[in-house]
Amino acid sequence: MANKAKKKSGGDRARVRRPPATRKRQQEPACPGELNMPRQSREEYVSGVLEQIGEFEERLAELESDLESAGWDDVGDYRGQLDDLRLRLKTARAQSEELEAAPDSAWSSVYKEMEETLLEVADSLEDLSLDLGRVLPE
């Protein structure tokens, strides 16, 4: 009976240990090594941003060419959207210069701002492309 009292009081709990696999799992990184992506340097990121902006500018030039070659008279609304996108791309290029010069303490903020700008430009470019696709002859 003394043994039962000892077990109920938790005397054996001190002897209970976690299996070794559990302890090992806690020490491993959250992502397995084969999934860890190499970190991109700031220069590589800025280079990629400039490449993306260049692709956006090429697409914008194609849309403008399509609009002009269609000979359509009512291009005012679309001309404004084209000009707005061109200005936003110019702003994005200026932001890329800020990325290069940003101190480490501000990197997170300017990076986030750049990503938001690129997403907005991509969405606007896609919207304009879809709108023009509906009204321009193929």
What does pTM read for this prediction?
0.67
Q: How far apart are the first and last CA of the chain?
A: 92
The CA distance from 12 to 6, in Å, is 8
Residue-level pLDDT at 72:
64
Output the DSSP codes for 68-132: HHTT-S--HHHHHHHHHHHHHHHHHHHHHHHHHH--HHHHHHHHHHHHHHHHHHHHHHHHHHHHH
| pLDDT value, residue 137 | 65
Query: Which residues, other chains included, contact 125 with Cβ-Cβ below 8 Å and sequence gap of 6+?
Result: 56, 59, 60, 63, 85
DSSP state of 30: S
**Residue ranges, the chain, pLDDT below 50:** 5-7, 9, 12, 18-27, 29-32
CA nearest to 86, candidates 64, 114, 71, 110: 64
pLDDT at 38: 63
| Pair of tokens at residue 21 | 């696999």
Give the pLDDT confidence score for residue 75 in this predicted structure. Answer: 65
CA 38 from chain centre, in angstroms, equals: 16
The pLDDT, as a whole number, for residue 31 is 45
Q: What is the pLDDT of residue 60?
A: 94
Q: Which two tokens stand for residue 83?
A: 């000009």
